[in-house]
A and B are shown apart, each in its own frame.
Chain A
Amino acid sequence: AQTVTQSQPEMSVQEAETVTLSCTYDTSESDYYLFWYKQPPSRQMILVIRQEAYKQQNATENRFSVNFQKAAKSFSLKISDSQLGDAAMYFCAYSRPQGAQKLVFGQGTRLTINP
């Protein structure tokens, strides 16, 4: 079975600085998707970024980028120019493609932004 591990229960960063959240996963599949979701205090799950395993290029979305290391089964999220609105729980998630799409989530990392 696939597993996702986030080893940092909590992280903090100064506003405008850069922070990296770690995620590792375990799978025997060669094709899959990886996601980062953000859950602010409103508890809404918001998609931040996604990465297809077959793509070598790391995904980027504005201030958010990932470092995808397939061989190491590592998928970290980098947040540049941190803003107060980035404060939230961040969940790393894995899914298989093509119909077997259930998400397997990590335990989450609580990110605090210090003004």
Chain B
Amino acid sequence: DAGVIQSPRHEVTEMGQEVTLRCKPISGHDYLFWYRQTMMRGLELLIYFNNNVPIDDSGMPEDRFSAKMPNASFSTLKIQPSEPRDSAVYFCASSNYGTSAPTDTQYFGPGTRLTVL
């Protein structure tokens, strides 16, 4: 299995621009998570999906952030408009809750380092 795939790996943009981060979860996983890592706040959950449905978006910082999961193999996290304080590493992770072990373990993608100038 290729693992969780994220693109792009690096993104540099200017304040006010729209940014779209992409994620392909591990095939067969029914949970998908978006995390953000910053020096100040550490790793924090932004939103997670179960079977393509958003379950908890309480970590999304504000309306400028949105996430979608149109199908089981693809998710996007969009920031519009972007601000310098959005600069961080954004991770996507996926997991499987079911009868096959190990379950409930999240596997992370390589992350996208976002820099907003």
B interface majority secondary structure:
strand
- Pick the interface stretch among A15-23, A64-72, A95-103: A95-103
Tell me the chain B residues, 1-54 only, with Cβ under 8 Å from chain A. 31, 33, 35, 42-45, 48, 50
Contact indicator A44/B108 (Cβ below 8 Å):
yes
- Pick the interface stretch among B63-71, B76-84, B99-107: B99-107
User: Would A43 and B104 be within 8 Å (CB), given that A99-B50, A102-B33, A102-B56 are in contact?
Assistant: no
CA distance A102 to B56 in the complex (A): 9
CA distance A91 to B107 in the complex (A): 14
B103, closest chain A residue (CB): A97
CA distance A46 to B101 in the complex (A): 18
- Residues of chain B at the chain A interface (Cβ within 8 Å): 31, 33, 35, 42-45, 48, 50, 56, 89, 91, 93, 95, 97, 102, 104-108, 110-111, 113
Given contact pairs A102-B33, A106-B42, enumerate 17 new A-B contacts (beta carbons under 8 Å): A33-B104, A43-B113, A45-B93, A50-B102, A95-B106, A98-B97, A98-B104, A99-B50, A101-B95, A101-B104, A101-B106, A102-B56, A103-B33, A103-B45, A104-B45, A105-B42, A107-B42
